[in-house]
Structure 1
Amino acid sequence: MPSSLKTKVDQRLNSYTPLKSTDRTKFFLNDFFKVIPSDGKENLAQYILECKDDAKLRQLVESIRIGLLIPMKAQGGKTPSPITPSPRSDLEDSIENLKNQNVEPITRSPQSQLRRHCLERDGNKCLATGAYSHTHDHPRNAPTTHLEAAYIIPFALGSFQANTEDDKHLHVWNNLTKYFPVLNRMSFERKHINSEKNILMLDMQLYREFGQFRLIFEETGLAHQYRIKTFRDTATVPIQNLPRNRLVKFRVHKGQWDLPDPQLLKIHACIGKFLHMSGQAEAIDKVLDDFEYCGGLAPSGNTNLQDLLAASSLSLLTSY
């Protein structure tokens, strides 16, 4: 990205006037700018510079929180909800283009087969700890656990009601492709969510940490080798059996199934890093806790109703 464009972004954000001491709009956008890839930075820079007043900048932040971060992190909920519209000038065309793709919703019917493929590919082992599936053949005295199939890009993004304009899914998918354009270069569409390259087998407890972006796989520069990164809020018991050096190497043990895609894992890692460096992980966890306890019907004194509705709009895949 040209340095002149970054300078303009810095000038625009530095000119922002906070509404109150807790207004983190400028810092949110700065942090998000740091973690997303260079082509995503160019798009974000364009959107920031299009915001001619401070209210539009705040609207841009909310469109990222409610139209990307909260739905990606949410684990449940069924109530449809509105998404804060982005102030982006290209939003209407982008959403219309997604509608015109006529993508059929994915279903859970292929999941048993996908699970078999991924278990075979991963040697019936957890990719993080190496523990074997307790329901499959394993060496005598080898550590065993219950394995779950963890989706990198959530299953819910490809699951929607057919023949309806399910805009909440389209907004989230549109945000993903704008801030992570590699999805377009990979030709990775919603119909590809149910594929081996989007799934890794993990210990049941690590599966939850991964789904909540409290455990990520960072690239190391070597093909299919990753460094596992955890955060302050990561549960300590599930990570006790991780390799001491936190390094793991993925390989196909059997079959010809795709390994988890490095680009998809990079997107997951970017979101995880941003959630924690920005403080959004804690804030969104509070939203999800409120939703769990009140069913999204009423916010606590510190939770916005719109955030609760966003938590209910999409869900990450639970075990199957």
Structure 2
Amino acid sequence: MSNLPPVNSPEVAQLGPSELSAYRVCLAFEQQVTEQISVIHARILGYLILHAPTENGRHEVVKAIHSCNKDFEVLSELGQAFLDYFIRPFKELRRWTPASSDNSSRTSSDEDEEDLQELETIPKPEAPKNRLDAKNQALERDGLRCVVTGLYDHDAAITKISVEEIVAAGGAVGTGCAYIVPDPAYLDAFNTPMSSPLEKKYSASVLAILKDFGYDVESLTDPNVHSLFNVMTMQFDVHVFFDRLNMWFEGTEIANFYKIQTISEWIKVPKLVNFTSSNPTKYPDLPSPKLLALHAACAKVAHLSGAGEYIDSLIADLDYLDELAFDGSTSAVLNHALMNKAARSIGAW
């Protein structure tokens, strides 16, 4: 968790007049409230101004902040809406997929004789319709490797790649299919019976702003959420870092080259990654730059504002909570539990 930068800091100095005015509101909000969650709300709003992935999105965040008329209670509701409908869904998805299945009867000797160039003649497959399709197609597109570490998927590579190649690459690991952004229905599920009319109003505002951030509801509604532009093959520990917003990808001036950023120096991953397709004709779609930028913005805001740690604490409290307190001190944990239950009810996830 980090204090919002002062107005004379380089990143704030780049803001326009309206953006700076809204940012000053966030600074005053942060400095005048004492409750931890309200401080987090203030920082979420402030860091959203600084790290919005698009200019249109930044403009809409600024407009939403100004609409609160410097009312800290209303600003807190807006900050909570971004926590619930932006950060929480991205951070809490544990989208592990089943192991890839290959029912082919070909032997390993057949595989050795196969010329990889023949893959170019294979028709483009149907778009993935579920997690297993996405897992299998992403795995093939990514060359049976984790896109970050380059290590081979154990189950897939063991019958298709020589032992020498696997050893030369650093070994084999278990992998999962990492989704960059969630199904829109997942975000909508976070409206619970406890949501007030004001909360519902701001949830709608946040979802509209997410569209300006590059989150296209129409193109991501199930089954499109399983499209290859929204998935990557990652070994399990890297997958966890990515899903928990502890790691993200920063775009560079070179297409499909990304700097890998983490919240801690203890997370040991390469500094740079180049996304490619093992067969561009069959699998032309690479991870979407817009969706990666959206995930990166969410990760940065979650980390800097303290929202990520706050959600982690709710998860821990839920694990150890035997009963709810009558004084309302556990209401946040209850709300968290209700949101999780609603999200788990979505069959696609």
TM over 0.5: yes
d(CA) in 1 for partners of 2:237, 2:134: 20
Match of 2:196 in 1: none
Q: 1:214-257: CA deviations, max 9, x gaps?
A: 1111112211111111113x8x5xx54x33xx111111102224
Higher RCO structure, 1 or 2 (CA under 8 Å, sep 6+): 1
Q: 1:132-171: CA deviations, max 9, x gaps?
A: 111122232421111100111124x4469xxxx9573998
1:275 CA displacement: 1.0
The aligned runs of 1:58-207 (5 Å cut-off) are 58-75=76-93, 110-136=130-156, 137-141=160-164, 142=166, 143-155=171-183, 157-158=184-185, 168=191, 175-183=206-214, 188-191=219-222, 192-207=224-239
C-alpha distance 194-62 of structure 1, shift in aligned 2 (>3 A): same
1:60 CA displacement: 0.8
Match of 1:55 in 2: 73
1:291 CA displacement: 2.5
d(CA) in 2 for partners of 1:2, 1:275: 21
Q: Would you say the 8 A contact 1:121–1:253 is kept in 2?
A: yes
Q: Would you say the 8 A contact 2:27–2:46 is kept in 1?
A: no
Larger Rg: 2
1:72 CA displacement: 2.5
TM-score, L = length of structure 2: 0.68
Residue 297 of structure 2 corresponds to residue 270 of structure 1: yes
- Give secondary structure in 2 for the equivalent of 1:298: coil
- Give secondary structure in 2 for the equivalent of 1:183: coil
Aligned AA (2:17): S
1:68 CA displacement: 2.3
TM-score, L = length of structure 1: 0.73
Match of 2:278 in 1: 253
Larger % of helix: which?
A: 2
d(CA) in 2 for partners of 1:315, 1:264: 23
Match of 2:105 in 1: none
1:8 CA displacement: 2.9
d(CA) in 2 for partners of 1:256, 1:111: 17
Alignment length, in residue pairs?
274
Match of 1:6 in 2: 19
1:3 CA displacement: 2.2
User: Percent same amino acid at aligned positions?
Assistant: 21
Residue 319 of structure 2 corresponds to residue 292 of structure 1: yes
Q: Would you say the 8 A contact 1:121–1:256 is kept in 2?
A: yes
Let me know the Cα RMSD of the aligned residues: 3.4
- Give secondary structure in 2 for the equivalent of 1:260: coil
C-alpha distance 71-186 of structure 1, shift in aligned 2 (>3 A): closer
d(CA) in 1 for partners of 2:42, 2:289: 30
Q: After the TM superposition, which of the residue ranges 190-199 and 306-315 deviates more from structure 2?
A: 306-315
C-alpha distance 258-298 of structure 1, shift in aligned 2 (>3 A): farther
Match of 1:310 in 2: 339
C-alpha distance 277-14 of structure 1, shift in aligned 2 (>3 A): closer
Unaligned runs of 5+ in 2: 1-13, 95-127, 193-199
